[in-house]
Amino acid sequence: MPRARASGILVVDDDRLTRHLTRSVLTKAGYRVRVANNGLEALRLLRSERFDLMLLDVWMPRMDGLAVLDRIKPDKRAPKVIVLTSDDAPATVLKAIRRRAYEFAHKPLEPAALVKLVRTTLSAKPKPPIEVVSARPEWVELSVPCTRDAADRLQVVMAHLEADLPQEVRESVGYAFRELLLNAVEWGGQLDPKRRVRISYLRARRMLLYRIADPGPGFSMEGLSHAAISHPDNPLEHDSIREQKGIRPGGFGILMVQAKVDELIYNELQNEVMFVKYLD
């Protein structure tokens, strides 16, 4: 019986040591690895060989990684791309996402983390892209497919946008954003990848504002008997209701979000929510 073809990986980085170490780690993990030291060399190899995955640096001489993404984006046979870079500026992250990078990770990665990331990416089914509607630093707007995977990927993006904030603010905002986003993709979007959630992030001098709009019909707070928010005098009363309905333990999400942000506002249908965190 013939052996399965080893996945082909192209490592593109202008740093010689990074290329050597990455190739060594992935070769030992059983992959077929080629390297290129700039974007032009990467395109030449892509024309002559088949690759399943490309690990792509951003800033390189002659042709940078973003230009490579522009060149291969129309080609349906192009490999999946993980952008690996030490430049974690929000503008760079958003440019990579807009050009349909599959994943974005900060380098250097520990060998075990690198192999795990490569395996996960290679085994993943094709993902609907996160679409960048606006990438201005003070106004970021994204269209996100209703999947848990997309929600996880978006957490990485938002962490870059908030990197310069105090840790307490990052943790509070990160928790609130994740809870409300998961509610949107799970309940509003019914985990249907063909449906999308609209995310807006507005940054002013004294506040952060997030808006999450899901494609669902909305909900009523009165219908959330299984959530702690519906039992303000006894936040644990909802546990028995969840057990009766066969719902996993939990139900503290909205209540916890209220405690971590300064304002939480729903529209009339309650399929759109905004929260505000003041920075003073």
Which residue ranges form the domains of the chain, and what is each CATH number? 8-123 (3.40.50.2300), 131-278 (3.30.565.10)
pLDDT of residue 23: 96
**CA–CA dist 98, 139 (Å, integer):** 15
Contact 195, 189 (CB under 8 A): yes
178-228 pLDDT, tens per residue?
989 998 999 899 999 999 999 999 999 999 999 999 999 987 666 555 554
For residue 15, pLDDT over 70 is answered with yes
Buried b (16+ CB within 10 A) or exposed e, 193-228: bebbbbbbbbbeeeebbbbbbbbbeeeeeeebebbb
pTM to 2 decimals? 0.79
Q: How confident is the model at residue 85 (pLDDT cuts 50, 70, 90)?
A: confident
**Cβ-contact 188, 158 below 8 angstroms:** no
The CA distances from residue 136 to 43, 90, 92, 209, 264, in Å, are: 30, 10, 12, 14, 24
User: What is the tens place of the pLDDT at every residue in 99-146?
Assistant: 888 888 888 889 999 999 999 999 988 778 899 999 998 999 999 999
Question: Exposed, middle or buried, 103 (CB in 10 Å: 0-12/13-18/19+)?
Answer: buried
Sheet holding 207-213, edge to edge: 131-136, 139-145, 196-203, 207-213, 272-278, 263-266
In the chain, the DSSP E strands lie at: 8-12, 32-36, 53-56, 80-85, 103-106, 131-136, 139-145, 196-203, 207-213, 263-266, 272-278
